[in-house]
Amino acid sequence: MTPSDPAGFGTRAVHAGQRPDPSTGAIMTPVYQTSTYVQHAPDVHQGYDYARVGNPTRTALEQNLASLEGAAHGVAFASGVAGIDAILRRLRPGDHVVSTSDLYGGTYRLMRQVHEPMGVGFTFVDLASPDALAEAMTDATKLVWIETPTNPLLRIYDVEALAAVARERDVAVAVDNTFASPYLQRPLALGADLVLHSTTKYLGGHSDVIGGAVLTSDDGWAEHLRFQIKAVGAAPAPLDCFLLLRSTKTLHLRMERHCANARAVADFLRGHDAVARVLYPGFEDHPGHEVAARQMRDFGGMVSLVLADDTVETAVRFMQSTRLFSLAESLGGVESLVSHPASMTHGSIPADVRRAAGLPDGLVRLSVGVEDEGDLIADLNRALAALAEPALVG
């Protein structure tokens, strides 16, 4: 199936990139667990010469993900940050990047601690308006990095409007689409040049794989990314590609349930006295609601909240009181998770930078899974009720 294939999302999720194994008829693409491939003569082979460079299970995954994002090319990586690193490696000393100020802590760490020392400049801004982007760009700007919805504040950025500003100056736009998944949002159709996924999250969906992928329709970027896999070697393992391929077949079904559960959880939390603020783009008074309604199919499975007693201690007590929501990093799996960004996923961002970006120390992030809605709400209700009880000392 090609990017222009008219088949619906669910059909492409199940079939794109895959066909029954020609030698056995196996309906699932096998795990090609091999490091090398026998050649007929030196450099005469069937398209694969060495497994760091390519593997048929990986090819199937790359074609599947490319189809879901409407891209001509897909390149799979060993992790999401490996994919981000591969993108940034196209920049040279003196080049400049404008990035959203609220973003995954590991992306910030990679930019500031790995690529900045190599001479690339970064400016982190709230890209709420296209003017903010125009002001932040310099003659040296080569890339705009957009995360939307953002991790963990669930801010929404208008990809189409920002891409139009970048295009005027011939600057590439990359969108981290991890929080939305291609089922909810397709950045390439909105004018982005590159889409990054931590496939560890919704695409994997079962909390059992670390992976990443970059999707693009730009031949030059695709060549650069494939060269990075070959030269730097952050290639995903065949079994991980197989697990991801199995997962993407149900992406549309899982996302529907994640979204429905997240809405129910957000509505419940908003009505609870022990909760001061709920961040969820599905609320009509969320500042990004109108853009989210336009560029996303639904509002996603993530909900962040600030408790009425906004202290780290109370947030920790709350997170330790839930039973179905497990206290863990990561998101997008079928199991509901609760986390404390300031000390976990975003701990690598200095406290003053975090606060300046609007991230409260007591913020709690929920990845709402696909369990039964009533059970999830009962779990949160019990944990919130426990906050009213006196804390155990000692």
Respond yes or no: is residue 379 known to be catalytic.
no
Respond yes or no: is residue 176 known to be catalytic.
yes
Give, as ranges, the residues between 219 and 238 that touch ligand PLP (CB under 6 A). none
Catalytic residue, candidates 58, 142, 201, 254: 201
Residue 25: CB minimum distance to ligand PLP, A:
34
Give, as ranges, the residues between 41 and 100 that touch ligand PLP (CB under 6 A). 79-81
Q: CA-to-CA distance for 2 and 5, rounded, in angstroms? A: 5
104 in contact with ligand PLP (CB under 6 A): yes
Q: Is omega for the bond preceding 350 within 30 degrees of 0, making it cis? A: no
Q: Return the number of the residue (55 or 151) whose C-beta is nearest ligand PLP.
A: 151
Pick one of 212, 282, 301, 333: the residue that binds ligand PLP (CB under 6 A): 212
183 in contact with ligand PLP (CB under 6 A): no
106 in contact with ligand PLP (CB under 6 A): yes
Q: CA-to-CA distance for 203 and 246, rounded, in angstroms? A: 10
| Interstrand relation of 337-339 and 326-327 (parallel, antiparallel or unpaired) | parallel
- Among the listed residues 103, 109, 66, 61, the one whose alpha carbon sits nearest the alpha carbon of residue 85: 109
Residue 200: CB minimum distance to ligand PLP, A:
4
Residue 129: CB minimum distance to ligand PLP, A:
22
Instruction: Tell me if 336 sits within 8 A of 366, measured CB to CB.
Output: yes
158 in contact with ligand PLP (CB under 6 A): no
- Among the listed residues 298, 232, 282, the one whose alpha carbon sits nearest the alpha carbon of residue 78: 232
Respond yes or no: is residue 201 known to be catalytic.
yes
| Collapsed DSSP state (helix, strand, coil) of residue 209 | coil
Residue 192: CB minimum distance to ligand PLP, A:
15
The residues facing 87 across adjacent strands are: none
CA R_g for the chain = 21
360 in contact with ligand PLP (CB under 6 A): no
Span of 60-68, 171-179, 288-296, 302-310 interacting with ligand PLP by CB under 6 A: 171-179
247 in contact with ligand PLP (CB under 6 A): no
Pick one of 200, 216, 321, 367: the residue that binds ligand PLP (CB under 6 A): 200
Contacts of 57 (CB under 8 A, 6+ apart): 29, 30, 31, 32, 238, 241, 242, 245
In this structure, which amino acid lies at residue 287? P
Respond yes or no: is residue 323 known to be catalytic.
no
Catalytic residue, candidates 21, 37, 49, 52: 52
Tell me the three-class secondary structure of 263-316, residue by residue: HHHHHHHHCCCCEEEEECCCCCCCCCHHHHHHHCCCCCCEEEEEECCCCHHHHH
Q: CA-to-CA distance for 163 and 190, rounded, in angstroms? A: 8
- List interacting residues with ligand PLP (CB under 6 A): 79-81, 104, 106-107, 147, 151, 176, 178-179, 198, 200, 210, 212, 345
Give the residue numbers annotated as catalytic, written as ranges: 52, 104, 176, 201
